[in-house]
Amino acid sequence: MKRTLIVLDELWDSALTDLGIKVASVCSGEVACAVVKGSAAHRKCLEKGIKLYFIENPRKTLPFKPFLSLKKAVSSFKPDVVLTIRGDEMLFASLLKKSFKFRLYRLHGEAKGIKNNALNRYLHRKFVDGVILSSRKLLNEVVSEVRKVFIPGAVDTDKFNFSKEGKDRIRRELGIGDEILLGIIGRLDTVKGHDLFLKSLAALKKELPVKGLIIGEEKNVKLYDLKNLAKKLGIENDVTFITERVSSISDYMSACDVGVVSSKGSEMIARVPLEFMSCGTPVVATNVGVLPEVVNSKTGVCVEAFAESIAEGVRRLVRERMWESRDEIRKEVCFRFSLDALGRTVNDFLV
C-alpha cells in the first residue's frame, strides 16, 4: 500500500494549503500531513481526520530545526511519496530523499510564479519526480523537463450544491424579490477588486434591477471605505455587506443569480469560482491568474479587470438568463473539478 506524506508548512488558510489538503483527502493508500502546530492546515486536517505529524515553521527559526522536524516525520511515517507545497520543505525533502528512498513531488500554485534560479532548476531536475501546476502560466525553464500535471483547483461538490430552500431563505432575509442578485465572496482586500464590483453594480443599476451582496472578512480594506464608496456611487441601499463568517455559504451562493470574481491579480488557484459554479451559479470572472482556465462559456464569462468590463459580462449573462442553466453548470464542474476528478488525476500521477 502506497504511503504519501504531504508537507503543508503555511500558517494561513491559503488556496495552496486548501488544495494540498484536498489532494491529501483523495490520495489512495495511507496518507499523512506534516503541518505546523496551530496552523490552518493543522485545524483542517483534524476536521478531516487526516493523520498528522508536526514540523517546525521554516520561516520562524534556524533551518536545522525545521529540517530535523521533517526528518523525524519522514522517519516515523516511512512514506513512498512526499509532496511539498513550498521551497523550504522541498529543499529539506531533497536532502532526505536518498536516505529514505521516497519519490518527491512539488505542488506549485503561488501567484508570484516559480523562482527561476540555478538552485531551483538543479533541485527540480535532480530530485523532483514530478510537479503539480495550478496554472499553465507557471510554466517556465524550472519545470520544463519535469513530469507534470495541471490541477487549477478542486471543489467538494457535496458541500457546495444548489439548495432551493437555502436560496429562498437567503433572498427573503436580504429582501430580494425578482431583482438580479450579484454576489462576491472573499476577504476585503485590494487585490479582490471590491471597488470594481461596486462600480460595475452602479453602472448596471442604471439599466437593470440589480442588487449586490459582499461577503468577506476585513483584511487590507476597511468595510467603512467600501460603504463610503457605495454611498458616493449612489448604491448604498442596493448592496448588503456581511463581514462575519457564515455557516451556510452554499445557500448564499445559491441565492445569487451571478457570482462575480473581480480580482485584480493573484488567483493562481481557483476556489470561490468553483464553489459558485458547483452551486449552479454562473460566474463573471476577471482575466487574471488561473481564472480563464476554469471559467468557460458553459459556466460563465471571463472579462478584463475593469468595472465596465465586469458590467458587460453581467449584461451578457443576464441576456442569456444563464442562471436558468444551473444543472448544466454544475455538471460541467463535477466533471472537471470535483474531488472524484481530483482523485483520478492525483492517483494516476503520484505513482
Segments forming the whole domain that contains residue 255:
164-336
Residues 82 and 56 in one domain: yes
Q: In what order do the strands lie in the sheet with 258-261?
A: 239-242, 210-215, 180-185, 258-261, 283-286, 300-303
pLDDT at 43: 96
Residues 293 and 327 in one domain: yes
Tell me how far CA of residue 118 lies from CA of 80, 125, 309, in angstroms.
Answer: 27, 11, 41
Residues 180 and 84 in one domain: no
* Domains of the chain: total: 2
For residue 33, what is the enclosing H or E element? Answer: strand 30-35
pLDDT grade for 132, boundaries at 50, 70 and 90: very high
Q: Is residue 178 part of a domain?
A: yes
Residues 329 and 269 in one domain: yes
Residues 179 and 320 in one domain: yes
pLDDT at 61: 76
Q: What is the DSSP letter of 128?
A: -
In DSSP notation, 202-256 reads: HHHHTTS-EEEEEE--BSSS-HHHHHHHHHHTT-TTSEEEE-S--S-HHHHHHH-
Give the pLDDT confidence of 207-263 residue by residue, as tens digits. Answer: 999 999 999 999 999 999 999 999 999 999 999 999 998 989 999 999 999 999 999
Residues 139 and 173 in one domain: no
pLDDT at 47: 94
For residue 99, pLDDT beyond 90: yes
CATH of the domain at 75: 3.40.50.2000
Q: Is residue 14 part of a domain?
A: yes
Q: Is residue 309 part of a domain?
A: yes
Q: Is residue 191 part of a domain?
A: yes
Question: Of 299, 271, 250, which Cα lies nearest the Cα of 187?
Answer: 271
Residues 144 and 53 in one domain: yes
Where a domain ends, among 96, 116, 151? Answer: 151
Residues 144 and 176 in one domain: no
Residues 57 and 173 in one domain: no
Where a domain ends, among 116, 151, 186? Answer: 151
pLDDT average, residue stretch 97-107: 98
Residues 112 and 197 in one domain: no
Residues 142 and 178 in one domain: no
Q: Is residue 129 part of a domain?
A: yes
Q: Is residue 349 part of a domain?
A: no
> What Rg value do the Cα atoms of the chain yield, rounded?
21
Locate 53 and state its grid cell: 505529524
Where a domain ends, among 112, 130, 151? Answer: 151
pLDDT average, residue stretch 3-32: 96
Residues 146 and 175 in one domain: no
pTM here is 0.94
Percent of the chain with pLDDT over 70: 100
CB-based contacts of 39: which residues, under 8 Å, 6+ apart? 8, 10, 11, 12, 17
